[in-house]
Amino acid sequence: MVRQGAVRRGMRFGVRVGVIPAVFWGILFLFVAVAPFGSGPLAVLRPGLIAVVGSLAAGVLLGVVMGAALAVAPQWLVSRGPLRGLLAAGLAGVLFQAEVAVVAVVTDVGYGPTLAAFLATPAVAALAAAHSGDIAGRSRRHPWLWSPGAVRALVDICSEPGSWGSKGRRLLRMMW
């Protein structure tokens, strides 16, 4: 049995997981990028953009795959909290290695940042296990996974017919 909305809730979870390192890398590279503008702005901003976009993509991948796995998992597995948590933690732990790869690429395999990202894997796995009930649709302990919010509004605006200019104006009105 496929549970409705699990992928969407998984994506919300993944975006939140991906935003944390993306904001960190964005702030770090913003401060680092101010100093060496002699080599050109694109050369200075490229690692920061790769880090931010890569972290967000890794988070979304993590959330979508975990949500899809919980959506199609057998009922006997999803109905048992410890088994569901183990499934979510295992998937999140494996898929968070995409973030470790992003950090390794951006820092030219710097030992410190790559090790720090790798050591964050158990924390992400524990978060996934703790939120697995909500992602699978079995509980409602974390309301931010259930409310559509800005992500739903963005999807609705982008999927409606009309020109991209009118969609952009509507997005700007929504934000302000």
Q: Mind listing the pLDDT tens digit for each residue in 68-87?
A: 888 888 888 888 889 989 99
Spatial distance between the Cα atoms of 32 and 135, rounded to a whole number of angstroms: 37
DSSP string, 62-98: HHHHHHHHHHHS-HHHHTSHHHHHHHHHHHHHHHTHH
Written as six digits, the tokens of 19 are: 């935003």
Spatial distance between the Cα atoms of 97 and 47, rounded to a whole number of angstroms: 19
pTM of the model: 0.70
Written as six digits, the tokens of 110 are: 């710097």
- Positive or negative: CA dihedral 48, 49, 51, 56: positive
Model confidence band, residue 176 (pLDDT cutoffs 50, 70, 90)? very low
Q: Using an 8 Å Cβ cutoff, are 78 and 3 in contact?
A: yes
Span 134-175, pLDDT tens digits? 887 777 665 656 555 555 665 666 666 777 677 677 666 654
Instruction: Tell me which residue has tokens 């050369």.
Output: 43
pLDDT of amino acid 41: 61
